[in-house]
A and B are shown apart, each in its own frame.
Chain A
Amino acid sequence: MKNKLFEKYFVFSPYFWLVLFFFIPLAIIFKISISVSEWGMPPYQDIFLFDNGFKINTTFENYIYIFSDYYYIGSFVNSLILALISTFFCLLIGFPLAFYIATSNIRLRNILLVLIVIPFWSSFLLRVYAWKIILQNNGILNVILLNVGITSEPLQLLYNQYAVIMGIVYTYLPLMILPLYGYLNKFDLNLIEASKDLGLNRIKTFFKVILPLSVPGIVAGSLLVFIPVVGEFIIPEMLGGSDRLYYGKILWEEFFVNRNWPGASALAFSGIIILVLPIVIFQILYSRWSQKNEI
């Protein structure tokens, strides 16, 4: 009987975790987002007032404020575009790599997998900072370009959206490769041979056999890259310039610089809804589709 009880709690522990560290914080953010701002600490009023009897003190002003100013929506759109482009490049680079690793012999495969994972052992911040050193005006890359004679003066490689995309693709590539590898690892190579045997050349075989059968791996890897990149703060902050503002940075500024907690919370909460809702719908549709297609 005692064991049963333990089992019950054990099974529910992930939900407990989810409630404690996801739903409760989310509820707090939502609560702040509908509070009225004021100067003070904390910089918002309580939503339940008891001074002259019970009164609910909420407002949707913060949401209206955010959605009426293109500054905020624009940053969110920028982040979505950034995430789309980065995911695309991660996929473009990651897919061939993952396929190569999955189809190479076991010894080489293990070495390559370790090489993919090794960057995780060093600090994320240091890795991004290293790119700053490589790309800066008197950095390694510019020195090489100058000495080879490709350019006559240093190129402005840093502090623009391209540096941001590069940094993100570099950092998030393993998150694309590992789930893809996990899926492609189970790929029956005979299927590729069968396709060629039936008269399809390499390119057609890729589009008719390899790609459709890799959809689950592609979806998993892409979501793993796309979702965190939308809210990415550090990389745009370190490598990006003022040419483009991103959601993560605006959120940070709203919260810490402007000390507009309700506004920042409204921004955060809207971001989650805008991002999560379509993904949840996509996941439901996708799982139905993949069940139907037996992939």
Chain B
Amino acid sequence: MDNNFLVIENISKSFGDNKVLENINLNISKSEFFGLLGSSGSGKTTLLRILGGFEKPDSGRVILDGTDITNLEPFDRPLNYMFQSYALFPHLNVFNNLAFGIKENFTQKEIETNVINIAELLSIEHLLNRKIKQLSGGEQQRVALGRCLIKKPKLLLLDEPLAALDKKLRSKTQLELTTLQKKLKITFVFVTHDQEEAMSISDRMAIMKNGLILECSSPEEIYENPKSLYTANFIGIANIIEIYKKDENFYSDDLGVNFKLNKELKNTKTNILLRPEKIKIQSINNLKTSSFNSFSGEILEKSYLGSFTRYEIKINNMIISVLDQNFNSNSNYNFPKGEKVICSWESESIKILED
């Protein structure tokens, strides 16, 4: 696969004294669905706006399909940008919003054909004569998407594409968006602050913080093997435990537990990540605590989530989160609050955090 379809090279940007982006480098492949994930102030939207041509970087280059587009105006770039607010034109109806970007280059007949095609693709053909104000949030989102896609862009930039939708609609739209992207084979780069959203729709994603890219990989890789403490905490629920070398094993003072790792460590002291679903929770009657990779604790809190139950288990001064799948339909299977349980995990589940 062509890994150099979109190349972001040493991009830096400051607003006054505020460094928003510092030396950003990214390579994005053709037809990839790429996510930029970060909390507010991480610089993700500024990066997207630089790609769209609405901001000029202080240094660095943006190369799209072999062409340097760094200094091109937005109207000269072969890409489109979908705004978080959708930015639909209130003085035009849906048809004219969709046709806005192609009016100059096509005849009336071609415009109509194009608009109807795109409207059918997005199932909004019944809305063409409506005013923007008469549309629901989800319908507006489709019109905004259609207005971009009708131009057949090489690259589509999406700023928080689903943020304005309610939760139920959001997950439905997520699926539609990925299906559409795979069908059209257009490269999508989107920005979000929502970890779940980034995980569920990205082929690859970059985690941004304070104008830097911390990690860039597939959602699975980032979740399972995060490199930094920040990423581990940012994506999903994380139990972070500090361990140090003691004899041939590792030991945590907070838990009072021996850890057995399946790989060697450079440092004598490190943070490890233990995801809550990797921890097995058992009744204390069933077996005894093993000498390593397990502990016994007391259930402090419990929240029933339907397919899972989330337990907060207290051991010494620490609280460990555990997600337990509700495998049995028997409700007694759940552990009650205050019950003593044994938690255990495999050596492979322990992920070492580098910093």
Interface residues of chain A, those whose CB is within 8 Å of chain B, are 188, 190-191, 193-201, 208-209, 212-213, 293-295
Check if B52 is an interface residue, CB within 8 A of chain A.
Answer: yes
B83 interfacial by beta-carbon distance below 8 Å: yes
**Can you list 18 residue pairs at the A/B interface with Cβ under 8 Å?**
A188-B85, A193-B54, A193-B87, A194-B83, A194-B88, A194-B89, A195-B89, A196-B75, A197-B52, A198-B80, A198-B100, A199-B75, A199-B104, A199-B151, A200-B100, A200-B101, A208-B100, A295-B90
Instruction: State A128–B101 Cα separation when bound (angstroms).
Output: 49
Contact at A213–B75, with CB atoms within 8 Å?
A: no
With A198-B100, A199-B101, A294-B131 given, is the CB distance from A191 to B75 under 8 Å?
A: no
A212/B87 in contact, CB under 8 A: no
Enumerate chain B residues within 8 angstroms of A194, measured Cβ to Cβ: 81, 83, 87-89
Q: Point out the residues of chain B lying under 8 angstroms from A213, CB to CB.
A: 89-91
- B75 → A minimal CB distance (Å): 5
A295 / chain B contacts, CB cutoff of 8 Å = 90-91
CA distance A194 to B144 in the complex (A): 10
Residues in A whose Cβ lies below 8 Å from that of B83: 190, 193-194
Q: Does B288 contact A (CB under 8 A)?
A: no
- In the bound complex, CA of A75 to CA of B74 (Å): 52
B147 within 8 A of A: yes
Q: Does B19 contact A (CB under 8 A)?
A: no
Does B133 have its Cβ within 8 Å of any Cβ on chain A? Answer: yes
Beyond A213-B91, A294-B90, A294-B131, whether A197 also contacts B80 by CB under 8 A is yes
Q: Return the CB mask of B115-158 against A: 1 if under 8 Å, else 0.
A: 00000000000000001110000000000000110010000000
Chain B residues within 8 Å of A191, by CB: 87, 89
Q: Is the interface of A mostly helix, strand, loop or mixed?
A: helix
Q: Are A209 and B90 in contact (CB under 8 A)?
A: no
Q: Are A294's CB and B87's CB within 8 A?
A: no
Q: Is B354 an interface residue (CB 8 A)?
A: no
Q: How far is the CA of A293 from the CA of B52 in the complex (A)?
A: 30
Majority SS of interface residues in chain B?
Answer: loop
- Given A190-B85, A191-B87, A295-B90, are A196 and B100 neighbors across the interface (CB < 8 Å)? no
Given A190-B85, A191-B89, A212-B91, residue A294 in contact with residue B74 (CB < 8 A): no
Number of residues from B at the complex interface, CB < 8 A: 25
**Besides A195-B100, A201-B73, 6 other CB < 8 A contacts?**
A193-B83, A196-B53, A197-B75, A197-B80, A294-B131, A295-B91
Instruction: Give the total number of A-B pairs whose CB atoms are below 8 A apart.
Output: 62
A133 to B101, CA, bound (A): 53
Q: Which residues of A contact B148 (CB under 8 A)?
A: 197-198
Cα distance, A195 to B88, chains bound together (Å): 9
Most buried by B among A191, A197, A201, A212: A197
What's the least CB distance linking B160 to chain A, in Å?
13
Give chain A residues whose Cβ lies under 8 Å from the Cβ of B151. 198-199
Known contacts A190-B85, A294-B133: A200-B75 contact under CB 8 Å: yes
**From residue A188, how far is it (CB to closest CB) to chain B in Å?**
7
Most buried by A among B52, B73, B83, B132: B83
Q: How far is the CB of B139 from chain A (nearest CB, A)?
A: 16
Q: Which residues of A contact B80 (CB under 8 A)?
A: 197-198
CB neighbours (8 Å) of A197 from chain B are 52-53, 74-75, 77, 80-81, 148
Task: Give the distance in Å from the alpha carbon of A213 to the alpha carbon of B87 in the complex.
Answer: 13
Q: In the complex, what residues of B have CB within 8 A of residue A212's CB?
A: 91
0/1 per residue, B72-110, Cβ < 8 Å to A?
011101001101010111110000000011001000000
Hey, which chain B residues are within 8 Å of A198, CB to CB? 75, 80, 100-101, 147-148, 151
CA distance A236 to B104 in the complex (A): 47
Inter-chain CA distance A208–B97, complex, in Å, is 11
Q: How far is the CB of A216 from chain B (nearest CB, A)?
A: 11
- Contact code string B297-335 (vs A, CB < 8 Å = 1, else 0): 000000000000000000000000000000000000000
**Nearest A residue to B85, CB-CB:** A190
Mark each residue of chain B from 246 to 262: 1 if its CB lies under 8 Å from any CB of chain A, else 0: 00000000000000000
- Determine the distance from Cα of A191 to Cα of B80 in the docked complex, in whole angstroms: 14
CA distance A99 to B348 in the complex (A): 62
Contact partners of A294 in chain B: CB under 8 A:
90-91, 131-133
Tell me, rounded to whole Å, the shortest Cβ–Cβ distance linking B259 to chain A: 51
Q: Chain B residues with Cβ under 8 A from A193's Cβ?
A: 52, 54, 74, 81, 83, 87
**In the complex, A191→B77 CA distance in Å?**
17
Cα A193 to Cα B132 with chains together (Å): 18
List, in ascending order, chain A residues with CB within 8 A of B52's CB.
Answer: 193, 197
- CB within 8 Å of A: which B239-279 residues: none
Shortest beta-carbon distance from B59 to chain A in Å: 23
How close is A100's CB to chain B, nearest CB, in angstroms? 19
Residues of A within 8 A of B88 (CB): 194
**Per-position 1/0 for B49-73, Cβ under 8 A of A:** 0001110000000000000000001
Complex Cα gap A295–B87 (Å): 15
Q: How far is the CB of A212 from chain B (nearest CB, A)?
A: 5
Q: Which residues of B contact A199 (CB under 8 A)?
A: 75, 101, 104, 151
A208 to B99: give the CA distance in the assembly, Å.
Answer: 13
